[in-house]
Amino acid sequence: MRFEIVTIFPEFFTGFFENGILSRALAKGLVEIGVRDLRSFTHDRHRTVDDRPFGGGEGMVLKPEPLAEAFAAMGIAPKLLIALPDNAPTPEIEGGVPDSSAGSETGAIRPHVVLMSAQGRPFTQAIARELTTREHVVLVCGRYEGIDERINELYCDEEISIGDYVLSGGELAAAVMIDATMRLIPGVLGNQASSEFESFGAADAEIATTDAFPRSQHGAGGLLDYPHYTRPAEFGGLKAPEVLLNGDHLQIRRWRREQQLRKTLAYRPDLLEDAALSKEDRKILSAIRAEKQD
Ligand code: ADE
């Protein structure tokens, strides 16, 4: 899978690529990442990428021309060819201009272009999984007040937000999305089973009743994860829960399930509405709710 990042801060990503899992995935060739410096597509002395907003108001807007040139350099044509502006650069790719649909006459698959934006659809584990089915994903990082909307219309397939807050730019959001997505690509995690167990594919209730050794299920079926402990068995005057030390897998599984339900009820009760809950789960939840009323 290939990610291409368009940014005015290419150096932002340098350390990010050196991080454990991602650097191994890159070395193994499971993930490729390209970074395009937006300023390299400018032609003035000051390498200007932004301008004042039409209609007035605060801040600056990323200009359309350097972004359009960056897309052309990646071989990506505008989607709305009818609306092609006179000054839009023509992509220089072998075999001509790619189609705006999934497959083109040249056989090249059009990359999926995502604009990182606080206005986008909220990023979730399900979207991360969806992205792993794409061969090539382009992430456009906005800055300042955003990018000229015509670039969004002409080149972007969707806008994605990583949360209901405004970041100074899309770089952090792109890094978050790459991290969450690449770890779902088969072979990226050392132990493949760990991403399977985290996936949205298997319902929580199913996982909880398998004979397999209980594993972390963060994000699986919509419940929050249970707490984790490691050695030493006692730290800061607090003991790790006895049940985790005795090797009884059934008891461990039950304890972890109860912890998941407690955490989810406390922090994300909304997730319980869509989670796949067993009869046993519902009993546990009623008991927890009853405790609170005492
Ligand atoms: N750019 C600014 N804020 C953002 C957010 N919350 N998610 C994605 N991109 C952004």
Give pLDDT tens digits for 166-195: 999 999 999 999 999 999 999 999 765 556
Examine the domain organization and report whether 175 and 253 are in the same domain: no
Is residue 268, in this structure, part of any structural domain at all?
yes
- pLDDT value of residue 294: 77
Ligand 1, atom 9, residue with closest C-alpha: 117
Which residue range forms the structural domain that includes residue 275? 201-293
Is residue 192, in this structure, part of any structural domain at all?
no
Is residue 16, in this structure, part of any structural domain at all?
yes
Ligand 1 center–CA 146 separation, angstroms: 10
Query: Which atom of ligand 1 is nearest the CA belonging to 142?
Result: 1
- Average pLDDT of the residues in 219-243: 92
Ligand 1, atom 5, residue with closest C-alpha: 118
Gap between the Cα atoms of 139 and 117, Å rounded: 10
Task: Write out the H or E segment, with its range, that includes residue 182.
Answer: helix 171-182
Examine the domain organization and report whether 23 and 126 are in the same domain: yes
Examine the domain organization and report whether 160 and 223 are in the same domain: no
pTM of the model: 0.84
Ligand 1, atom 2, residue with closest C-alpha: 167
Q: Percent of the chain at pLDDT above 90?
A: 74
Q: Which of 150, 182, 214 is the last residue of a domain?
A: 182
Examine the domain organization and report whether 205 and 237 are in the same domain: yes
Examine the domain organization and report whether 31 and 173 are in the same domain: yes
Kindly give the pairing relationship between strand 158-161 and strand 112-122. parallel
Question: Among 61, 116, 152, 176, which residue has the most ligand 1 atoms within 8 Å of its CB, making it the best to mutate?
Answer: 116
CB neighbours of 40 closer than 8 A, spacing ≥ 6? Answer: none
Tell whether ligand 1 has an atom less than 6 A from the beta carbon of residue 173. yes
Ligand 1 center–CA 1 separation, angstroms: 23
Ligand 1 center–CA 280 separation, angstroms: 40
- Main-chain phi, psi angles of 32, to 5 degrees: -125, 140
Query: Which atom of ligand 1 is nearest the CA belonging to 160?
Result: 8
Does 77 score more than 80 pLDDT? Answer: yes
Query: Which atom of ligand 1 is nearest the CA belonging to 161?
Result: 7
Examine the domain organization and report whether 39 and 168 are in the same domain: yes
- Average pLDDT of the residues in 133-144: 95
Does 277 score more than 80 pLDDT? Answer: yes
Tell whether ligand 1 has an atom less than 6 A from the beta carbon of residue 164. no
Does 9 score more than 90 pLDDT? Answer: yes
Ligand 1 center–CA 162 separation, angstroms: 6
Q: Give the CATH number for residue 289.
A: 1.10.1270.20
Tell whether ligand 1 has an atom less than 6 A from the beta carbon of residue 116. yes
Tell whether ligand 1 has an atom less than 6 A from the beta carbon of residue 166. yes
* Three-state secondary-structure class, residue 64: helix
Examine the domain organization and report whether 125 and 264 are in the same domain: no
Does 234 score more than 70 pLDDT? Answer: yes
Examine the domain organization and report whether 70 and 177 are in the same domain: yes
Q: Give the CATH number for residue 141.
A: 3.40.1280.10
Examine the domain organization and report whether 216 and 264 are in the same domain: yes
Examine the domain organization and report whether 246 and 120 are in the same domain: no
Ligand 1 center–CA 61 separation, angstroms: 15
Is residue 163, in this structure, part of any structural domain at all?
yes
Domain count, the chain: 2
Residue 224: closest CA among 279, 275, 292: 275
Sign, CA torsion 191/196/197/200: positive
